[in-house]
Structure 1
Amino acid sequence: MPDVFSPTDLGPVRLRNRTVKAATFEGRTPDGLVTDELIAYHRAPAEGGVGLTTVAYLAVAPDGRTHREQIVVGEHSLPGLARLADEIHATGARIAGQVGHAGPVANGRSNGVHALTSSAMPSPLSMQMIRTASEKDLTRVTRAYVDTARTLVRAGFDVLELHMAHSYLISSFLAPGLNRRRDRWGGSLERRARLARQVARVVREEVGDAVAVTAKVSVSDGFPGGVTTEMSVELARMLEADGHLDALQLSGGSSLMNPMYLFRGGAPVSEFADTMPAVVRWGMKTPVGRGFMKAYPFEEAYFRAKALQVRDAVSMPLMLLGGINRLDTMQQAMADGFDFVVMGRALLREPDLLNRIQAGVAREGICIHCNRCMPTIYSGTRCPEWAAGEVIPVPAVR
């Protein structure tokens, strides 16, 4: 069993340990550009001992943003992204960029351009129709992934994480309930997976071994018509056979249909509704709206059982995500054959948690999984419990 804090390789990239800071909405790019606040947000867990921190979320095109404040990767954002990469490298950590197109999760009204998806549907975010992606759209988006990958390599990023989960564009093609197409992009899983495999191929062809390329995929979307664990296993086999990816990160849930399936724990419906426009706020406080944010009990490593089915099916490196807060959970993940552990809320609450664990000061985080961090995503993602506990400084472990 490998030590979770031992150095390892992710494709062509050497990491100081096997821990990954998950891509979690930062809310620190009001002009769609890197800010000092965004750098500080990622520098904190990097100085706190994480092996790889992931910037979320880097859109490949303007219509691929969830809302207008997100970064679209291009020449205009390159200098800031390069500065961010340099700052993270100075800590001894590596940096990943979560690359994607939000698809139906994009707020077309905020972005000023209509969202697109596998099959047309109404948007609960913009109160507009989300249009069906045409062949021309898919060609454009695929090229945008290539351009984005090229730019992030120039910026000095170490890892590109292709977003194929959470009902974003690629994921909307994978889910049979969202993808009702009758052309070559719909029907069987092999056809629904065409876009995912195409994007992985063109990105790898563009970057070669200059960086690692991974993908975030779902072990279960958590809604009828979403990606199931059986589909996830078959998709993993396809992606492994294609040979374009260095690892898969196993996630779950749907930002569009069932967001709390990913987070587990408290469901702060009222607090989250208060951050939304008036119409959406009213809708979220109705019984139907409250049903959108279902409460799921929290448990450690809540995706483990489903992720183990993927682990049994493929031999490629896998990253386990979902409720990892304790040293014994990390060790169990290594014993299960997972290659990396991915942490989100635990590091938001305690950015230096991993240094503290390595130093023997702690064995688990103090996050209470209330999810009240979720309503802060538009004003700067943060833990409301921060003031409730004093973080004990521990020297950085190199």
Structure 2
Amino acid sequence: MNDIFAPAALGPITLRNRVIKAATFEGRTPQALVTPELIDFHREVAAGGVGMTTVAYCAVAPGGRTDRHQIWMQPEAVAGLRDLTDAVHAEGAAASAQLGHAGPVANAASNRAPALAPSALFSPLSMQAMKVPSDTEIRELIAAHAKAALLAEQAGFDAVEIHFGHNYLVSSFLSPLLNRRRDRWGGSLANRARLAREIARAVREAVGGRLAVTAKLNMEDGRRGGLTVPESVQVAAWLEADGTLDALELTAGSSLLNPMLLFHGAAPRKEFAQVLPGPARLGFRAVGRAFLKEYPYQEAFLLERARHFRRELSMPLILLGGITNLDTMNLARAEGFDFVAMGRALLREPNLLRRIQSDASTRSACVHCNKCMPTIYTTTRCVFRPDSTPVDFDGVRRT
């Protein structure tokens, strides 16, 4: 316990402990700007004892959102984000902004901007063909990540996390299943990894040494023909050699193809079918069982994959997936992971870390039902928390 809850360095910053609140879209930005509800969400988690909380999802462009109600990093967002980071700092925690572009996971109909994909794809979300960015447009996206990082610094964030996972834009470029380009951004693994490396370099040049720079990297996509663990280990090794990141958070799965690889436990198919918008709902009812596969829950369920990265890399690594109690945190440390990241357990109990510090035998109340997943369309929450009230995207509380 002393090791987990002792201060730890993350690049140029020091966290009060080794536990990070993982990025989970909060559903509290109906106007694509910070709200009091979003501030309260992160203030509560910070007061609950985490070393750092991660704000998700801060898109680098308006078309890079999975829905137009998400924040995108524009100057108008800075004041609200500053209020949020001030509130988190007042509770003794650090704040990180997750930056990225949703790429093929973006909802073009909602954003009123085309979704982007490395190669020609059809979007089941907007029922439209996706746009394949040119070399010039890719360069603009790289610059957009650097600009977003500078805005995060203005807003008082201590760190930025670049989203290289879940088949969002960068992750889709890494995937041989989705990236069939024949130019310098596709084909070989080195070409497919170019976008990740150049974005990391641009962000590092913009804020490195002042803010911690981390990335959430897919270990595998969980779909035949997609990114594999050996390929991802090589990408991670290149990122380490580049010296652009202070840590890697290891994840898995695809929001586009196989989301449950990240969310082990029950598959909330009925709940998703009830809340998805129009065309997506019809499609989901046809393919929901195949799309939402079910993986049995166990503690540290991504550890076996993550061990391959720990063996090959010396840089700090953050273990995600099934971290709910002190025993699992200690296991992560014994395996050589520098930090752990928690998501669903903190939706259920934002004060879980304080409870563990008071009683090392404390176990999370999360039952891994994953019914929190569909709540992103109203207000992301644990459905078993009696004080969690959904909010529609127009900002009106529902009864």
Normalising by structure 1, we get a TM-score of: 0.96
Q: Give the secondary structure class of the aligned counterpart of 1:365.
A: coil
Distance 2:361 2:126 in 1: 44
2:217 aligned with 1:217: yes
Superposition pairs of residues 115-194 of structure 1, within 5 angstroms: 115-194=115-194
Match of 1:316 in 2: 315
Match of 2:345 in 1: 346
Distance 2:327 2:216 in 1: 24
- CA change 1:2–1:226 in 2 (3 A) is farther
CA contact (8 A) 2:326 2:360 kept: no
CA RMSD of aligned residues (A): 1.3
- 1:291-343 per-residue CA deviation (whole Å, 9 max, x = no partner) reads 11111111111100100000000000000000111110000000000000000
Distance 1:67 1:34 in 2: 15
Q: What's the CA shift for 1:250? A: 0.4
CA contact (8 A) 2:73 2:148 kept: yes
Match of 2:372 in 1: 373
CA contact (8 A) 1:213 1:245 kept: yes
Q: What's the CA shift for 1:361? A: 6.6
- CA change 1:45–1:362 in 2 (3 A) is farther
Greater displacement, 230-239 / 276-285: 276-285
Superposition pairs of residues 97-108 of structure 1, within 5 angstroms: 97-108=97-108
Match of 2:51 in 1: 51
Match of 2:324 in 1: 325
- 1:15-48 per-residue CA deviation (whole Å, 9 max, x = no partner) reads 0000000000100000000000001111111000
- 1:113-141 per-residue CA deviation (whole Å, 9 max, x = no partner) reads 11111111001111111111111210111
Q: What's the CA shift for 1:169? A: 0.3
Distance 1:294 1:388 in 2: 30
Q: What's the CA shift for 1:197? A: 0.3
Which amino acid is 1:235 matched to?
V
Match of 1:307 in 2: 306
Q: Give the secondary structure class of the aligned counterpart of 1:87.
A: helix
CA contact (8 A) 2:102 2:168 kept: yes
Distance 1:289 1:279 in 2: 13
Greater displacement, 219-228 / 27-36: 219-228
Distance 2:360 2:351 in 1: 11
Distance 2:377 2:140 in 1: 29
Match of 1:75 in 2: 75
CA contact (8 A) 1:357 1:363 kept: yes
4+ aligned runs moved over 6 Å, structure 1: none
Which amino acid is 2:367 matched to?
I
Question: Where does the alignment leave 5 or more consecutive residues of structure 1 unmatched?
Answer: 390-398
Distance 2:21 2:206 in 1: 25
Q: What's the CA shift for 1:208? A: 2.8
Greater displacement, 288-297 / 190-199: 288-297
Which amino acid is 1:263 matched to?
F
CA contact (8 A) 1:66 1:102 kept: yes
CA contact (8 A) 1:166 1:254 kept: yes
Q: Give the secondary structure class of the aligned counterpart of 1:132.
A: coil
Q: What's the CA shift for 1:53? A: 0.2
Distance 2:269 2:130 in 1: 25
CA contact (8 A) 1:170 1:195 kept: yes
Q: What's the CA shift for 1:279? A: 2.2
- 1:242-294 per-residue CA deviation (whole Å, 9 max, x = no partner) reads 001000000110000001111011111121121112222122112x2321111
Q: Give the secondary structure class of the aligned counterpart of 1:38.
A: helix
Which amino acid is 1:281 matched to?
R
Distance 2:98 2:249 in 1: 11
Which amino acid is 1:139 matched to?
R
Greater displacement, 162-171 / 131-140: 131-140
Which amino acid is 2:127 matched to?
M
Q: What's the CA shift for 1:143? A: 1.1
Which amino acid is 2:353 matched to?
L
Distance 1:170 1:146 in 2: 14
CA contact (8 A) 1:164 1:170 kept: yes
Q: What's the CA shift for 1:85? A: 0.6
Match of 2:89 in 1: 89
Normalising by structure 2, we get a TM-score of: 0.95
Distance 2:387 2:183 in 1: 55
- CA change 1:227–1:270 in 2 (3 A) is same
